[in-house]
């Protein structure tokens, strides 16, 4: 079975459309939080294997030094995980947009990371949930690492999944150097349940 076989073409288009709507809502929230214009990208829908996760992350930002948080969410038996990664060079601009005063210590960066993650991840998964009539419950965010190498972010090893649906959204803010990547991942069982919901929409 090829890697892409857990979703078909129509389903892929539908995921793309759902994400477009959701990330637009998320971008609107982010724009209101930062009071800045958020450039809307085209989300990338792909199916990745466990061993490809690091590669998928590597492609996510142009810089290698990153900080990231992840957050699990679950609803209607569908569970997924959201990861938000910031290029470390982004924090200075982010701090000035969010009107954080004081030195940009690792602790201050963590605050910025958490504040942005709360807004972006929440809006995005609820945006998807609303369209599918699923109420997603968010778990607590977990810091994956600060100022670490992209490759060290996710430990290798079998975490009990083989394939996952990956939705990548690359946000940039106009005129300032802020780059972040939001990655939504659904494991195979969850994708099966999601596909049923999607097929219902497609009919």
Give the chain's end-to-end CA distance (angstroms, integer): 26
Candidates 4-12, 25-33, 55-63, 89-97: pick the segment binding another protein (CB under 8 A): 25-33
| Contact string 107-126 vs another protein (x = CB under 8 A) | x--xx--xx-xxx--xx---
Q: Single out the residue of 4, 143, 151, 202 in contact with another protein (rule: CB under 8 A).
A: 143
Query: How many angstroms separate the CA atoms of 110 and 60, rounded?
Result: 20
Distance between CA atoms of residues 202 and 145, nearest Å: 39
Calculated CA dihedral for residues 12, 155, 126, 146, nearest 10 degrees: -130
Residue closer to another protein by CB (options 52, 115) is 115
Query: CB-wise, 22 or 45, nearer to another protein?
Result: 22
State the minimum distance, in angstroms, from the CB of residue 171 to another protein: 16
Residue 24 in contact with another protein, rule: CB under 8 A: no
Give CA–CA dist 172/41, Å, rounded. 8
Q: How far is the CB of 184 from another protein (least distance, A)?
A: 16
Distances from the Cα of 77 to the Cαs of 15, 46, 80, 161, 177, in angstroms? Answer: 18, 22, 10, 16, 39
Provide the 8-state DSSP code for 136. P
For another protein, the binding residues (CB under 8 A) are: 29, 32-33, 71, 107, 110-111, 114-115, 117-119, 122-123, 138, 140-143
């Amino acid at each position: 079975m090829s890697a892409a076989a857990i979703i078909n073409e129509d389903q892929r288009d539908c995921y793309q459309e759902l994400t477009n709507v959701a990330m637009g809502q998320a971008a609107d929230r982010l724009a209101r939080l930062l009071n800045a214009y958020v450039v809307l990208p085209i989300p990338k829908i792909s199916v990745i294997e466990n061993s490809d996760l690091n590669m998928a992350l590597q492609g996510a930002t142009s810089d290698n030094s990153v900080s990231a948080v992840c957050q699990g969410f679950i609803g209607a038996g569908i569970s997924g995980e959201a990861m938000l990664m910031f290029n470390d060079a982004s924090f200075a601009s982010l701090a000035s947009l969010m009107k954080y005063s004081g030195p940009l210590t690792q602790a201050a960066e963590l605050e910025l990371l958490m504040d942005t993650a709360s807004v972006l991840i929440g809006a995005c998964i609820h945006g998807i949930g609303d369209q599918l009539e699923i109420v997603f419950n968010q778990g607590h965010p977990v810091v994956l690492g600060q100022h670490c190498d992209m490759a060290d972010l996710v430990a290798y090893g079998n975490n009990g999944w083989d394939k996952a649906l990956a939705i990548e959204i690359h946000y940039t803010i106009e005129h300032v150097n802020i780059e972040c990547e939001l990655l939504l991942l659904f494991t195979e069982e969850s994708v099966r349940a999601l596909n049923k919901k999607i097929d219902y929409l497609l009919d």
